[in-house]
Amino acid sequence: MSSENPEQRAEQGADQLPAQAEEERREQPIARTGMFGAKTTGDTSGYGRLVIRQSPKVTAPRPYGGPGGAAEAGEFDEIADELERALPDFGDAIERVVVHRGELTFVVKRERLLEVARTMRDEPSLRFELCSGVSGVHYPKDEGAELHAVVHLLSITHNRRVRLEATCPDADPHVPSLVPVYPTCDWHERETYDFFGIVFDGHPALTRIEMPDDWVGHPQRKDYPLGGIPVEYRGAEIPPPDERRSYV
Amino acid sequence: MSSTKYTEYDAYAAEEAAASGGEKQGRVFDVNGQDWDQVVAGAEDLGDERLVVNMGPQHPSTHGVLRLVLTLDGETVDDCRVGIGYLHTGIEKNMEFRTWTQGTTFCTRMDYLAPIFNETAYCLGVEKLLDVTDQVPERAQIIRVMMMELNRISSHLVAIATFGLELGATTVMLNGFIEREYTLDLFEEITGLRMNMAYVRPGGVAQDLPSGALSKIRDYLDRMPKRIQALRKLMDANPVYLARTRDVAYLDLTGCMSLGVTGPMLRATGLPWDLRKSQPYCGYETYDFEVATQDTCDVYGRYLVRMQEMEESLKIVEQCVERLQRVKGPVMIEDKKIGWPAQLAIGADGMGNSPRHIAHIMGTSMEALIHHFKLVTEGFRVPAGQAYSHIESPRGELGAHVVSDGGTRPYRVHFREPSFVNLQATPAMAEGGMVADVIAAVASIDPVMGGVDR
């Protein structure tokens, strides 16, 4: 987006004016409507008509910049260049590249995850030797990619960080295991399986780790209630937290 | 497994299968103490040298509810399996049902020996998503650093104290815990609470230092070096201690890298990797301190690293005190849409919003009351996206993966708990060694089960 010419850059900066941003926001798809769960005519707050929009999945344009900002080519570009060089079909393996809040994310096709991770670790110019773990996220509205496995990598050699993200649909919750490349993922993947039901293919012993072995369901999925029983307080019933009205 | 969401496990069917000889089970001994002769006699009858011992989850030397399944061949550990999950409290799930600010109250309870670190990691993540990292006032950052370093000292003191106790040395335990008490007194003075303070909040800290806190910290700084020296005198060259720790539970750099081990364990292999130096946050780059390292890869090295880190932490606290005298100003972000509207203060009925603020919202400004109400009940919105914040906790890299969908509550928060990760290294350190060294190995990891299980 940026340019060498400061005048041009100022002009490009115009798209950050509030009016422009407002228009852009209106183009985004609607994520949800309303508040407090009020749906009927009894809603006098007006919040029932609230519309929340969410930006669509974007691919960051070059240059990616670095942790400090994306004004000029920086270490994120170096990482992407090196990965592109080491991985001939980079465009096929990496679905999207996201640069947000000074962090670089490669959204990797799940069948290529192991290969990408191995390249990230073994290539001397990349050398992400430490894996900071796997975290699952459940997006029930993201059709065809409801479950995300998010891997944070750290390069001590180059003092850099990068995030790999692989998705899988609810109907086929399989993602390759990273244990052959990063043995530390053993417990992380067990935890993600336990809480989200993502099956990591190739894991040596994918069993529950936090919940009891005979537990039914995967508790940190969005369709799993927070639980709890209605609490009675002086005759008035307080519902469990996930059933109370909320500002979401 | 038919459904993708649920995995069914029929415990009764498994039991029946075992009873009908489907799975062969060895002879089981129930050990209740003082009945070891029966076990020995029984094992002799079997003619098998191998013994599977279930250690924990209630064993006093497993640092909380940790379960170790050890296969012993005489005194040697053949196989070690680690069972966790006994303290899972669903903190990550619970946080999704509270506002961003309330999240600190939950996450502070994870690793209960290092609450300030949990809060700071989470708040740094939220601030990163809000894109307000630069707007957090300098005074708040200094207070955060000071609290973290005091917390590091108290956490390391417990690590060393309980380690002593687990090896059978009550003196070490008493000495460590008394010093920790003094540190907790400081926390009580500053935050009102000794543990689980929820003191660090998105945008700053809950309240400024009370008057007189700095002089108390100075007294602490006067006393502490001598006390650490006394602990060193007790243990550094103690032959019994050395015999139990030297060359025990060896884990070198390769092992640490592949198992993701960070913190004092990594630094005891000689790699000076400390996020405070390498990827600074909260202004750590402006403080003068050394990264403690040892190159022995054993329990003794980890102990020395912790000792030296406490000394370095004291140096940082000293610099913080000096800065806090100079740097005045707010301790919460100026942005009224994010910053908590009131400072806390001690009133007639305990800790609460400051009387001045109450007078303002109840007596003079209706808008201020509305604003207070909205921010406190509804909370602020955080732009959609994800961020990973990472800090150097006493046990290693503590990371918070914070995801927002643009709402007033976290969409997902995942903590990369160093205790959880480092505990994976137990079999690597324990297998092939003596059973007594398993205790030393686990203690040198210094796992806190509240953090492991969350």
Q: Check if B92 contacts A (Cβ < 8 Å).
A: yes
Domains of chain B: 93-339+380-453 (1.10.645.10)
What is the per-residue pLDDT for B47? 66
Chain A residue closest in CA terms to B129:
A101
Spatial distance between the Cα atoms of B445 and B428, rounded to a whole number of angstroms: 12
Mean pLDDT over the full length of chain A: 80
- DSSP reduced 3-state for A176: strand
**Do A132 and B7 make contact, defined as CB atoms within 8 angstroms?**
no
**Do B257 and A152 make contact, defined as CB atoms within 8 angstroms?**
no
* A173 neighbourhood in chain B, CB within 8 Å: 4
What tokens appear for B261 in the block?
A: 């081990």
A130 in Cβ contact with A178 (< 8 Å): no
Mark out the alpha helices in A165-205 (DSSP H runs). 185-196
Question: What does the pLDDT average to over A139-168?
Answer: 90
Q: Check if B255 contacts A (Cβ < 8 Å).
A: no
Q: Give a yes or no: residue A156 inside a domain.
A: yes
The H-or-E segment that residue B158 falls in is helix B138-166
**Do A150 and B85 make contact, defined as CB atoms within 8 angstroms?**
no
Q: Check if B131 contacts A (Cβ < 8 Å).
A: yes
A45-72 pLDDT, tens digit per residue, is 667 777 777 666 777 777 888 887 767 7
Residue A145 sits in a domain whose CATH number is 3.30.460.80
Number of A:B CB contacts under 8 A? 138
Measuring CA to CA, which residue among B217, B238, B245 is closest to residue B175? B238
CA distance A5 to chain B (A): 27
Rounded to two decimals, the pTM is 0.85
What is the per-residue pLDDT for A1? 40
Q: Kindly provide the ipTM of the predicted complex, given to two decimals.
A: 0.83
B263 in Cβ contact with B218 (< 8 Å): no
Q: Give a yes or no: residue A247 inside a domain.
A: no
Count of C-beta atoms within a 10 Å radius of residue B183: 20
What tokens appear for A16 in the block?
A: 């950050």
B224-247 pLDDT, tens digit per residue, is 999 999 999 988 888 888 888 888
pLDDT tens over chain B, length 454 residues: 333 444 444 555 555 555 555 455 667 777 776 777 777 777 777 666 677 888 877 766 667 788 888 888 878 898 899 989 888 988 999 898 889 999 999 999 999 999 999 999 999 999 999 989 888 999 999 999 999 999 999 999 999 998 888 887 888 889 899 999 999 999 998 988 888 988 999 999 988 888 889 999 999 999 999 999 999 998 888 888 888 888 888 999 999 999 999 999 999 999 999 999 999 999 999 999 999 999 999 999 999 999 999 999 999 999 999 999 999 888 999 888 888 888 777 777 777 788 888 888 889 989 889 888 888 888 888 888 899 999 999 999 999 999 998 888 899 999 999 999 999 999 999 888 888 888 889 889 988 988 898 8
Q: Give a yes or no: residue A243 inside a domain.
A: no
Q: Give a yes or no: residue A196 inside a domain.
A: yes
What is the per-residue pLDDT for A25? 62
First CA to last CA distance, chain B: 28
* DSSP secondary structure letter of residue A57: P
Measuring CA to CA, which residue among B376, B330, B375, B382 is closest to residue B132? B382
**Do A247 and B84 make contact, defined as CB atoms within 8 angstroms?**
no
CA distance B6 to chain A (A): 5
Q: In terms of C-beta density within 10 A (0-12 exposed, 13-18 middle, 19 or more buried), how is residue B422 classed?
A: buried
Contacts of A50 by beta carbon, 8 Å cutoff, 6+ apart:
A33, A34, A35
Q: Which of B374, B377, B386, B453 is best to mutate for the A interface (most A CBs within 10 A)?
A: B386
Spatial distance between the Cα atoms of A180 and A152, rounded to a whole number of angstroms: 16
CA distance B194 to chain A (A): 28
What tokens appear for A74 in the block?
A: 């920086």
- Using CA atoms of B335, B338, B339, B342 in order, give the dihedral in degrees to the nearest 10: 120
CA distance B408 to chain A (A): 6
**Do A186 and B379 make contact, defined as CB atoms within 8 angstroms?**
no
Q: Which of B67, B258, B273 is best to mutate for the A interface (most A CBs within 10 A)?
A: B258
A209 in Cβ contact with A218 (< 8 Å): no
What tokens appear for B162 in the block?
A: 């309980």
Q: Give a yes or no: residue A177 inside a domain.
A: yes
Residue A7: band (very low, low, confident or very high) from pLDDT cuts 50, 70, 90: very low
* A101 neighbourhood in chain B, CB within 8 Å: 128-129, 131, 385, 387
Nearest to A170 among B4, B412, B420 (CB): B4
Chain B residue closest in CA terms to A157:
B273
Assess whether pLDDT exceeds 80 at residue A117. Answer: yes
Nearest to B387 among A103, A132, A170 (CB): A103
* DSSP secondary structure letter of residue B376: I
Given 3-state DSSP classes, what are the helix, strand and coil percentages for chain A, each rounded to the nearest 5? 25, 25, 50
Q: Which of A129, A130, A170, A206 is best to mutate for the B interface (most B CBs within 10 A)?
A: A130
φ/ψ (deg, to 5) at B68:
-120, 130
Nearest to B406 among A54, A132, A150 (CB): A54
Q: What is the CA radius of gyration of chain A?
A: 22
Rounded percentage of chain A residues whose pLDDT exceeds 70: 77
Spatial distance between the Cα atoms of B204 and B330, rounded to a whole number of angstroms: 9
**Do B4 and A220 make contact, defined as CB atoms within 8 angstroms?**
no
Q: Give a yes or no: residue A134 inside a domain.
A: yes
Q: Domain of A84?
A: 59-218
Bridge-based pairing of strands B50-55 and A236-238 is unpaired
Residue A9: band (very low, low, confident or very high) from pLDDT cuts 50, 70, 90: very low
Nearest to A101 among B5, B385, B411 (CB): B385
Q: Give a yes or no: residue A231 inside a domain.
A: no
Spatial distance between the Cα atoms of B406 and B39, rounded to a whole number of angstroms: 60
What tokens appear for B26 in the block?
A: 């060895």
Bridge-based pairing of strands A231-233 and A236-238 is antiparallel
Total domains in the fold of chain A: 1
Q: Give a yes or no: residue A54 inside a domain.
A: no
Instruction: Establish how many alpha carbons lie within 13 A of residue B402's alpha carbon, considering only the half-sphere containing its beta carbon.
Output: 36
B155 in Cβ contact with B451 (< 8 Å): no
Count of C-beta atoms within a 10 Å radius of residue B374: 14
Q: Which residues does residue B82 pair with via DSSP β-bridges, in sequence order?
A: B68
* B129 neighbourhood in chain A, CB within 8 Å: 101
Chain B residue closest in CA terms to A133:
B416
Residue A42: band (very low, low, confident or very high) from pLDDT cuts 50, 70, 90: low
Q: Check if B279 contacts A (Cβ < 8 Å).
A: yes
